[in-house]
Amino acid sequence: MRMVIGAHGMRPARMAMRRSVVSRSAVIAAAVFMATVVVAPSMALAQTREVPQGRGEIQLSFSPIVKKVAPSVVNVYGARVERQQQNPLFEDPFFRRFFGGDFGVPRERVARSLGSGVIVDPSGIIVTNHHVIENMTEVKIALADKREFECDIVLRDPRTDLAVLRIRDKGVKLPAMELGDSDALEVGDLVLAIGNPFGVGQTVTQGIVSALARTQVGIGDYQFFIQTDAAINPGNSGGALVDMKGRLVGINSAIYSRSGGSVGIGFAIPAAMTRVVVESAKSGGKLVKRPYFGGRLQAVTADIAESVGLDRPTGAMVADLRPGSPAAAAGLKRGDVILSVDGQAVDDPDAFGYRLATRPMGGEATLTVQRGSRKETVRIRLAPAPETPARDEVKLSSRTPFGGATAANLSPAVAEELSMDVSGAGVVILDIGEGSSAAQVGLKKGDVIVAVNGEKVGTSRELDAALSRRARYWEITIKRGEEVFTAVLGG
């Protein structure tokens, strides 16, 4: 199985490579190599070999770029104190009398993480991967010059796998890296990857942009990655992908590997998405607000492309629209195929999601749409998802199977926050406390509560009221994704 690796180890990707395809590729590669061996001698005779004409040609180096940007790349260390569960027997005075007062006292262990980060503002704002600091409560950074700073986590954005930190020391000026234009990258461009692989210390590797707009990689909600062959390994997560002008063009996030080490296939989050998250953090937001589309898209197949007059399967087809959404207000229709956003091509739904998410709020975006056999231009408003009805969060009672869970009214804004593709009203589990009753019975973040003990639930307050009644058992109907099921739990 192909594995996508971040700072915490390996994660399965959504795509699997068939063994037969690998074998066939190997045969093709071998055939090409043999042909090269036969042809190369005759080609070599026609080539002119030249001796370097001066010291300058011998001493070409990436060193000037590294000296410029290396101080802006930091090591990120996260920690979390975990208390082990205590056996109820340990609370019995009998055990304490014979085994001592400390017998059964919950033991603590410290979970740690290691990754990299990039200083993007002189005031001490650092961007890293969300998975580097996920579940961490204490974070510090170490600069290349050995200085260390405690940090606050300003913003977590698991949807993009990005997080923003800020050093606690006031008045300190740090060397910040300029954000580049990731949309200007081309396949073949030289890039440098800088980070802390395996914790060995700051390391620089060099390669090229191998591909752009990689989707279906299996990391985060916004699939639109820069692929590079610059060596990236565990610990590089959150580090910098730098262009030849010393600008940040990507945040290194994952690799494809079967061994755990680099095989020359690494993925970086484009700087355009990084800029959106950083600006949200600077403005004081705890959540990243992005333009709301309000529709469901599907990939364009060869049959769909032929039916609408496209010469190849490309774009994102509108499969459904939510009434009153920006997509519906713009005049989009089911069956429309979106081909570009503000002139930038859209190959699939993931590419459209990325393009829309990186547009600034408050204005409009121009969509090029294939409608039937003709192309049309549609302008869509760039506004956040509405929070209607109000979320009205409720912390649920610990005397029920929902203990430790937080519920809220479902709105387009909450659905976006939870990466849910749903419409209509309802009550959704917004958060679940670690080790809580809700976690132990298997409730999950994003579960929509339909009914409790046969009583339909429409709002968070109705759910709270239904759970306030004493019961010998609880019959709960839940919608999880497209599946609806009922569970009976003891009281």
**Domain range annotation of the chain:** 1-23+63-288, 295-381, 394-490
| CATH number of this structure's domain 1-23+63-288 | 2.40.10.120
Helix ranges (DSSP H) in 49-161: 55-58, 63-69, 93-99, 130-133
Selecting among 210, 237, 340, 437, the annotated active-site residue is 237
Region 171-200: mean pLDDT is 93
DSSP string, 219-244: SSS---EEEE-S---TT-TT-EEE-T
**Six token digits for residue 358:** 């990186």
291 pLDDT more than 50? yes
Region 347-361: mean pLDDT is 92
Active site residue 161: yes
Active site residue 131: yes
Question: pTM here?
Answer: 0.78
Selecting among 72, 116, 130, 131, the annotated active-site residue is 131
Quick: pLDDT tens for 198-209. Answer: 888 899 999 999
135 pLDDT more than 60? yes
Region 254-260: mean pLDDT is 75
> Which range (254-258, 348-352, 365-369, 373-377) has the least confidence?
254-258
Q: Considering the chain, what percentage of its residues have pLDDT values greater than 90?
A: 47
1-23+63-288 against 394-490: fold identical: no
Q: Which fold has domain 394-490?
A: Pdz3 Domain (2.30.42)
Query: Residue 36's pLDDT band (boundaries 50, 70, 90)?
Result: very low
21 pLDDT more than 80? no
- CATH class of the domain whose range is 295-381: mainly beta
Half-sphere exposure of 421 (CA within 13 A, CB side): 10
Selecting among 157, 161, 347, 350, the annotated active-site residue is 161
b/e burial code for range 440-467 (CB count within 10 A of at least 16 → b): ebebeebbbbbbbeeeebbbbebbbebb
